[in-house]
Structure 1
Amino acid sequence: MEAGSLQIVINSIAILAFLGVVFGSGLAVASRKLKVESDPRIDEVEALLPGANCGGCGYPGCRGLAEAIVSGAAPVTACPVTKDYSSIAEVMGVEATSAAERMIAKVRCAGGKKEAQQRFIYLGVEDCSAAQNLGGGAKACAYGCLGLGNCAKVCPFEAITMSDNGLPIVDEEKCTGCGLCVKACPRHLIDLRCRLVRCCCTPLRDK
Structure 2
Amino acid sequence: MSTSIAILVVLTGLGLVFGFILAFANKKFAIEVNPLIHIVEDVLPKGQCGACGYAGCQAYAEAVVLNPDVPPNLCIPGKELVAKVVSELTGKVAEAVEPRIAQVRCAGSDGKAVKTYEYTGVDDCVAANLLFGGPKACKYGCLGLGTCVRSCPFDAMTMSPEGLPVIDPDKCTGCGTCESVCPKQVIAMMPLGAHVRVNCNSKDKGQAARKACSSACIGCSLCMRECPHGAIKMENNLAVVDAHICVEQCSDAKCLAKCPTKAIRPAILGIMPGTEDQTSVAANCPTYVKQNISAS
TM-score of Structure 1 vs Structure 2, range by shorter chain? 0.7 to 0.9
Give 1:19 deviation, angstroms. Answer: 4.4
In the alignment, structure 1 residue 75 sits paired with structure 2 residue 71: yes
Residues 100, 17 of structure 1: CA spacing in aligned structure 2 closer, same or farther, 3 A cutoff? same
Residues 193, 17 of structure 1: CA spacing in aligned structure 2 closer, same or farther, 3 A cutoff? same
State the alpha-carbon separation in 1 of the partners of residues 48 and 167 from structure 2. 20
Q: Equivalent residue of 1:51, what SS?
A: coil
Can you give the 5+ residue segments of structure 2 that lack an aligned partner in the other structure? 194-242, 252-296
In the alignment, structure 1 residue 170 sits paired with structure 2 residue 173: no
Residue 222 of structure 2 is matched in structure 1 by none
Q: Is the Cα contact below 8 Å between 2:179 and 2:188 reproduced in 1?
A: yes
Instruction: Indicate the structure (1 or 2) with the bigger Cα radius of gyration.
Output: 1
Q: Which consecutive segments of 4 or more residues in structure 1 shift more than 6 A?
A: 8-11
Q: Equivalent residue of 1:91, what SS?
A: helix
In the alignment, structure 1 residue 60 sits paired with structure 2 residue 58: no
Give 1:12 deviation, angstroms. Answer: 5.8
Residues 9, 86 of structure 1: CA spacing in aligned structure 2 closer, same or farther, 3 A cutoff? same
State the alpha-carbon separation in 2 of the partners of residues 157 and 136 from structure 1. 28
Residue 87 of structure 1 is matched in structure 2 by 85
State the alpha-carbon separation in 1 of the partners of residues 106 and 12 from structure 2. 71
Q: Is the Cα contact below 8 Å between 2:47 and 2:57 reproduced in 1?
A: yes
Give 1:112 deviation, angstroms. Answer: 1.6
Give the TM-score taking structure 2 as reference length: 0.58
Query: Matches of residues 43-58 of structure 1 in structure 2 within 5 Å?
Result: 43-58=38-53
Deviations 1:151-181 (A, max 9, x none): 1111111222222322222223322222211
Q: Equivalent residue of 2:31, what SS?
A: coil
Residues 33, 146 of structure 1: CA spacing in aligned structure 2 closer, same or farther, 3 A cutoff? same
Can you give the 5+ residue segments of structure 1 that lack an aligned partner in the other structure? 203-207
AA aligned opposite 1:99: A
Aligned-pair identity in percent equals 44
Q: Is the Cα contact below 8 Å between 1:86 and 1:95 reproduced in 2?
A: no
Please point out which of 12, 20, 25 is paired with 1:30.
25
Please point out which of 96, 101, 105 is paired with 2:102.
105
